[in-house]
Amino acid sequence: MQDLPPDLPRLRTLETWLAHTLDRVRKQIVAAEQREAERQRGIDARPPAPDWLMEQGLTMSW
């Protein structure tokens, strides 16, 4: 059982389609890598948590 067409025109068509699809996949990979790098830069640039917090508005008025 062969899963590819036997004739050259259909093989060339398949080759073109696969090349186009592979190009699209590679572009998506680059975009995903850029998003991940940007996300990681955001995490790395995040300022450290403060050692203490100041709370306001805790006075009670009766």
Tokens found for residue 57 = 């508005």
Mean pLDDT of 1-11: 89
Rounded distance between C-alpha atoms, residue 27 and residue 33, angstroms: 10
Residue 14 one-letter amino acid: L
Tell me phi and psi for residue 59, to 5 degrees. -75, 145
Single pTM value for the model? 0.67
Question: Per-residue pLDDT tens for 9-43?
Answer: 999 999 999 999 999 999 999 999 999 999 999 99
Local confidence band at 5 (pLDDT 50, 70, 90 cut-offs): very high
Task: Identify the pLDDT of residue 1.
Answer: 46
